[in-house]
Structure 1
Amino acid sequence: MPVRKAAVRALTTTLCAALLLAACTGAPPPPPAGGAAGPPGDHDSVPHRPPAPRPEPAWVDRLPGVGPSTRAAFPAGTTQALVVLGATTTTNEAEAVLYERDPSRRWNRVAGPWPAHNALRGWTDEHVAGDLRSPIGVFRIGDAGGRLPDPGSLLPYDQDEEFALQGAGFAGEPLEGSFDYVIAIDYNRIPGTSPLNKKRPLGAAKGGGVWIHVDHGGPTQACVSLAREVMPELLRALDPMKEPVIVMGPAADIAR
């Protein structure tokens, strides 16, 4: 029994000495004899890897049917877009959808799709007066008006009898009432003025007076037309604080 007590006393003295040495040098104490090492700490050589960043969802800043080159033409503050797509360069029937971008940068459809008409001979990216084609591109829309009273437009609205229209369209359909409601497309015009303003910054040869207006049942000279019941809805939806634009043209061109 005295021999066993002496062995225990010697082991205790050795452990105390080791702990005292570790406290002075900052080195970790040795693991107990026959035991496993403790969990790794800062002194271990295991590298610290920060969590991988979460990838952005695929829908962030994507607008259906609108490609990156077209999207690059958007004003920085735009969060509202009316997208009007035709099947080909030569078609005069199209589809319109209104989208808005939410705080998470996701574009959401808020109205439409609506059937639409564009110019008789389709679309062009070099519009000139009288070519019977609608211009392709991204254009601001910020001014409205019409022969009828303001239906609750958030855009500045100019009611004027000068919007009255007579005559017949390309298919013989009556044009009366086509300008009861209009929204000016900022192609070769002075923004912030009535759609009736006839000043053409690019010159008369480049055309002008390109509007969104009431559909008369056939193709237009250069404008985009929507059903009569749609126009008041669109006027109430377009918000100048959201810097709205119209994106218009053949689907293949707009998808670039």
Structure 2
Amino acid sequence: MRINRPYMTAAAAVVVSSLGIAAFQYLPEGNPGPAAETASVVQDAAVPTAAPASPSTAPTTAPPKPQYPDRLPGLGPKTLAQVPAGARQVVIVTGAGKKSAKSKVVLHERVDGGWRPGAVWDAHNGYKGWTDEHYAGDLHSPIGVFGLTDAGGRLADPGTELPYHRSGAFSVGGTGFEGEPLAGSFDYVIAINYNRRPGTSPMDGAQPMGANRGGGIWIHVDHGGPTHACVSISKAHMKDLLLALDPADHPVVVMGDAASLAR
């Protein structure tokens, strides 16, 4: 920083301290002072200078990249064979047991040749657990691998890359199996491509396998209890999932109880 000083008419005399460092003394104009006597001393004095810094020769190395598993955890050969080769986002829903309505959800993403796991989220599934062959009204969630191509809800699109259909038709009322209110359960939904036409609104009623095989199975906002056949997670985690999923990564859901998925 530049500091402005008043002009001085005094002569500057150089004085060498006992440490060999030159000091300056301002004297009134016309007074030669000790400058003449000390000039030769100043010329001979060795003023210490800082030694130039030597360049570091230590090699710089980048921190190692995290090593992610090369296969999706908890999935056996039969289940893995159903995961499309092009899928780079896989939502794994692992039920606590074949007859349990509680499960865990983890989003895995393909990174650097491995599968990077996300956070573990608590979830609910069908009231009676899981089934390999789902039928309408059986209160089981279907086991299998299904695409995730379409989303929607009662609330505005939070910014997902998935096609999003906002509609008041996603409103729901009443109570669940444990007396919990269902209001808000369909604020956000992601259609699970079980017995439906991909590329349509989650509200689309087409059922290619027939109405007796059920349909309208979604990932939606958790209401605090079991579902009819859907998978439910908290509202905050629904928003996280909607923002994470990218159609370019061909996301799928792999869902079932732990023992079934390990086959």
Interval of TM-score (by shorter of Structure 1 and Structure 2):
0.7 to 0.9
**Does residue 1:221 correspond to 2:221, yes or no?**
no
| Structure-2 residue corresponding to 1:143 | 150
CA contact (8 A) 2:190 2:218 kept: yes
Percentage of pairs with the same residue: 57
**Does residue 1:80 correspond to 2:89, yes or no?**
yes
**Of Structure 1 and Structure 2, which has the larger fraction of its residues in helix?**
1
Amino acid of the residue matched to residue 235 of structure 2?
R
Please, which of 209, 214, 218 is the counterpart of residue 211 of structure 1? 218
C-alpha distance in structure 2 between counterparts of 1:126 and 1:112, whole Å: 30
CA-based RMSD: 1.2
| Structure-2 residue corresponding to 1:247 | 254
**Does residue 1:97 correspond to 2:106, yes or no?**
yes
CA displacement 1:163-192 (0-9 Å, x = unmatched): 011111001110000000000000000000
Alignment of 1:1-256 (within 5 A): 59-60=69-70, 62-104=71-113, 106-109=114-117, 111-256=118-263
Q: Secondary structure at the match of 2:227?
A: coil
C-alpha distance in structure 2 between counterparts of 1:168 and 1:59, whole Å: 42
Q: What are the ranges of 5 or more consecutive residues in structure 1 without an aligned counterpart?
A: 1-56
CA displacement 1:3-58 (0-9 Å, x = unmatched): xxxxxxxxxxxxxxxxxxxxxxxxxxxxxxxxxxxxxxxxxxxxxxxxxxxxxx99
Tell me the CA shift for residue 59 of structure 1: 3.6
Tell me the CA shift for residue 66 of structure 1: 1.2
Tell me the CA shift for residue 86 of structure 1: 0.8
CA displacement 1:211-233 (0-9 Å, x = unmatched): 00000000000000000111111
* Residues 236, 205 of structure 1: alpha-carbon distance in 2 compared, 3 angstrom cutoff: same
Q: Secondary structure at the match of 2:137?
A: coil
Tell me the CA shift for residue 76 of structure 1: 1.9
C-alpha distance in structure 2 between counterparts of 1:236 and 1:196, whole Å: 20
TM-score of the two chains, using structure 2 as the length reference: 0.73
| Structure-2 residue corresponding to 1:49 | none
- Which 4+ residue blocks in structure 1 deviate beyond 4 angstroms? none
C-alpha distance in structure 2 between counterparts of 1:194 and 1:163, whole Å: 11
Q: Secondary structure at the match of 1:229?
A: helix
C-alpha distance in structure 1 between counterparts of 2:76 and 2:156, whole Å: 37
CA contact (8 A) 2:68 2:116 kept: no
C-alpha distance in structure 2 between counterparts of 1:252 and 1:130, whole Å: 24
C-alpha distance in structure 2 between counterparts of 1:253 and 1:230, whole Å: 25
Q: Secondary structure at the match of 1:145?
A: strand
C-alpha distance in structure 2 between counterparts of 1:241 and 1:71, whole Å: 20
Q: Secondary structure at the match of 2:243?
A: helix
Q: Which shows bigger deviation, 221-230 or 63-72?
A: 63-72
Tell me the CA shift for residue 87 of structure 1: 1.8
Q: What are the ranges of 5 or more consecutive residues in structure 2 without an aligned counterpart?
A: 1-66
Q: Secondary structure at the match of 2:240?
A: helix
